[in-house]
């Protein structure tokens, strides 16, 4: 087992590797770094932000990325999903005797950039929520910049630089920019049906890729973690809660109190927020170890709907609340749902109303990649080699969101999440400096991520399978 106090874990192992095999890793990595085109890297981030790619409409962004990779000499292809959807795939072939590494990201954005669609969540849209990039003092602002077109550009440029360095690896390095990762799911609500491609997210594109391609041996999802290596992510359950009341035209009513489902549901929302959620998180904190921090599974009340805004004189007959319930490794969805149901039953009994609980989406299980996995070690080593600092665990928030590593782990592929943006103190003031909220990423971090992906790719793919086995015996 890996000893976290061992000096070999706390610093890159390039010297040890050079002794095992006559490959000058440092010279090779430096050669690839010299091929990074920093101006084109920033332009790629800007170009991707400028291509609207809401969930269900990712094809144009995928086409642009495929064209860019082809222009840099990479084998690239458009994996068509539908008329408006596609994954972009690039590959740098090795000799075929080593591990295959996947660098992965998504093209769809958390928001649409259309105020009529986004207003319920974002409020009035500021510039950082629009698919129109602008650059200010080394930061790229615009929809999708941090989540996660910056990360996509970083690993794309890394693959291009490896290709142009003309250093043949033993294993293949793949890059995929997929459709439909954002946590959007189809659901029929009281006011409208959220169905079709615009709401097919939650790992849709990665599932499609793995069902139509040769699997990698290891995967890096390049989501924003402040370049902290994370080896697990929270799964989640989406739950629809319903309270019912008595349809009443209030001006006609002689009663001082009526059965109003909105009032009942307000007690549910407050109970979850003040009581259930903090207790649930506290009881299920998951420790990933001293090098990787902790996970905190959150419970969030995300939407409520009832009644007619244009005719509020009516007491409605129904009210629905939508809840996001997160899961940690080892936690069964059925147990989490049972905890929520027990709490709600007690609350409804206390206040004399009934509540229905319905699951409409599940992304589980939450799985962890072992700390001594080759992909974990390689990414930590690459971080420390490039940054010249010790690896710092991700914050609980950066450990606890969901991403496509949930999909790759489900398929048995050892995976980490490791990408530029977020967590660092400099990001706290970036929104105010740009004049409003929205998305933004610092190009310095994108460039650093690009270098780290190159170093990690060498670590994973430069050796044959036989050499890897010898390395393991020598190191431990």
Give the pLDDT confidence of 66-114 residue by residue, as tens digits: 999 999 999 999 999 999 999 999 999 999 999 999 999 999 999 999 9
- Final residue before a domain boundary, out of 309, 342, 362: 362
In whole numbers, what is the pLDDT of the chain averaged over residues?
A: 90
What band does 264 get if pLDDT is binned at 50, 70 and 90? very high
| pLDDT of the residue at 191 | 86
- Tell me whether residue 269 is in a domain: yes
Which residue from 305, 299, 295, 302 is spatially nearest to 344, judged by alpha carbons? 299
pLDDT of residue 6: 36
Residue 257's pLDDT band (cuts 50, 70, 90): confident
What DSSP designation does 438 have?
Answer: B
The answer as to whether 225 is a domain residue is yes
User: Would 2 be classed as within a structural domain?
Assistant: no
Residues 6, 240: Cα–Cα separation, whole Å: 48
Domain CATH for 434 = 3.40.630.10
Report CA Rg, the chain. 24
- Based on the structure, what is the number of domains in the chain? 2
pLDDT at 235 over 80: yes
> Does a structural domain hold residue 405?
yes
- Regarding whether 374 and 313 lie in a shared domain, the answer is no
Q: What is the pLDDT of residue 250?
A: 82
pLDDT per residue as tens digits for the range 339-351 = 999 999 999 999 9
Same structural domain, 217 and 292: no
The answer as to whether 406 is a domain residue is yes
Last residue of a domain, one of 311, 339, 362: 362
Q: Give yes or no for residue 15 having a pLDDT over 60.
A: no
Domain containing residue 262: 235-362
- Summarize pLDDT for 282-322 with one digit per residue, the tens: 999 999 998 999 999 999 999 999 999 999 999 999 999 99
**pLDDT one-digit tens code per residue, 113-160:** 999 999 998 889 988 899 999 999 899 999 999 999 999 999 999 999
- Same-domain status, 313 and 428: no
252 pLDDT band, cuts 50/70/90, is confident
Residue 368 to residue 376: CA distance in whole angstroms: 11
Same domain membership, residue 370 and residue 358 = no
Q: Is the confidence at residue 25, as pLDDT, over 50?
A: yes
Residues 6+ apart with CB under 8 A from 163: 72, 73, 74, 92
pTM recorded for the entire structure: 0.90
pLDDT for 464 equals 73
pLDDT at position 109 is 97
CATH number, residue 266: 3.30.70.360
With cut-offs at 50, 70 and 90, classify the pLDDT of residue 325: very high
What pLDDT does 452 receive? 98
Does 240 share its domain with 332? yes
pLDDT at res. 256: 77
Question: Are residues 200 and 125 both part of a single domain?
Answer: yes
The answer on pLDDT for 62 being more than 90 is: yes
Please tell me the predicted confidence (pLDDT) of residue 468.
54
Backbone dihedral angles phi then psi of residue 174, each to the nearest 5 degrees = -110, 155
For residue 132, is it within any domain? yes
Q: Do residue 384 and residue 310 come from a single domain?
A: no
The answer to the question of residue 165 being in a domain is: yes
In sequence order, what are the residues at sequence separation of 6 or more whose Cβ sits closer than 8 angstroms to the Cβ of residue 48? 61, 64, 65, 107, 144, 149, 152, 153
* Type and span of the H or E element at 262: helix 261-271
Whether residue 166 is found in the same domain as residue 114: yes
Asked which of 362, 397, 431 is the last residue of a domain, the reply is 362
What pLDDT, in 10s, does the model give residues 425-474?
A: 777 666 655 556 789 999 999 999 999 999 999 999 988 766 555 444 33
More confident residue, 460 or 191: 460
**258 and 207 in a common domain:** no
pLDDT score at 333: 95
In terms of domains, do 152 and 48 share one? yes
Percent pLDDT > 90 in the chain is 80
| Residues belonging to the chain | 476
Q: What is the pLDDT of residues 383-417, one digit of tens each?
A: 999 999 999 999 999 999 999 999 999 999 999 99
Let me know whether 182 and 261 are in one domain.
Answer: no
Q: What is the DSSP letter of 215?
A: P
Q: Is 454 exposed, middle or buried (0-12, 13-18, 19+ CB in 10 A)?
A: buried
Residue 1 domain flag: no
| Pair 178, 227 in one domain | yes
- Residue 252, classed as helix, strand or coil, is helix
């Amino acid at each position: 087992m890996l000893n976290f106090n061992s000096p070999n874990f706390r610093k890159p192992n390039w010297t040890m590797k050079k002794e095992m095999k006559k490959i000058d890793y440092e010279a090779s990595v430096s050669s690839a770094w010299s091929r990074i085109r920093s101006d084109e890297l920033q332009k790629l981030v800007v170009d991707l932000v400028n291509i609207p790619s809401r969930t269900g409409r990712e094809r144009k962004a995928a086409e642009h990325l495929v064209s860019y990779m082809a222009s840099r000499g990479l084998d690239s292809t458009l994996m068509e999903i539908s008329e408006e959807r596609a994954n972009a795939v690039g590959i740098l072939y090795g000799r075929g005797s080593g591990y295959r590494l996947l660098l992965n990201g998504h093209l769809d954005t958390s928001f649409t950039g259309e105020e009529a669609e986004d207003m319920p969540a974002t409020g009035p849209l500021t510039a950082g929520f629009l698919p129109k990039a602008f650059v200010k003092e080394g930061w790229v602002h615009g929809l999708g910049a941090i989540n996660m077109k910056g990360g996509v550009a970083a690993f794309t440029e890394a693959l291009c630089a490896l290709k142009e360095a003309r250093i043949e690896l033993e294993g293949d390095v793949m890059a995929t920019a997929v459709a439909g990762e954002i946590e959007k799911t189809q659901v029929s609500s009281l006011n409208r049906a959220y169905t079709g491609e615009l709401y097919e997210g939650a790992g849709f594109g990665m599932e499609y890729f793995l069902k139509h391609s040769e699997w990698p041996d290891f995967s890096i999802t390049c989501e924003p973690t402040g370049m902290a290596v994370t080896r697990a992510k929270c799964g989640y359950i989406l739950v629809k809660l319903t309270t019912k009341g008595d349809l009443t035209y209030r001006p006609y009513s002689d009663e001082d109190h009526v059965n109003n489902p909105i009032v009942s549901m307000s007690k549910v929302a407050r109970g979850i927020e003040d009581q259930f959620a903090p207790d649930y998180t506290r009881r299920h904190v998951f420790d990933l170890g001293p090098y990787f921090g902790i996970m905190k599974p959150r419970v969030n009340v995300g939407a409520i709907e009832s009644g007619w805004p244009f005719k509020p004189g009516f007491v409605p007959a129904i009210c629905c609340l939508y809840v996001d319930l997160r899961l940690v490794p080892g936690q069964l969805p059925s147990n989490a749902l049972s905890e929520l149901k027990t709490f709600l039953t007690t609350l409804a009994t206390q206040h004399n109303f009934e509540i229905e609980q319905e699951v409409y989406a599940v992304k589980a299980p939450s799985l962890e990649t072992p700390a001594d996995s080759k992909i974990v070690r390689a990414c930590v080593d690459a971080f420390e080699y490039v940054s010249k600092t010790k690896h710092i665990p991700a914050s609980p928030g950066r450990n606890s969101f969901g991403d496509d590593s949930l999909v790759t782990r489900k398929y048995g592929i050892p995976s980490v999440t490791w990408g530029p943006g977020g967590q660092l103190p400099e990001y706290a003031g970036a929104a105010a400096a740009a004049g409003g909220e929205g998305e933004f990423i610092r190009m310095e971090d994108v460039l650093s991520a690009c270098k780290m992906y190159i170093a990690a790719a060498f670590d994973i793919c430069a050796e044959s399978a036989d050499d890897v086995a010898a390395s393991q015996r020598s190191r431990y």
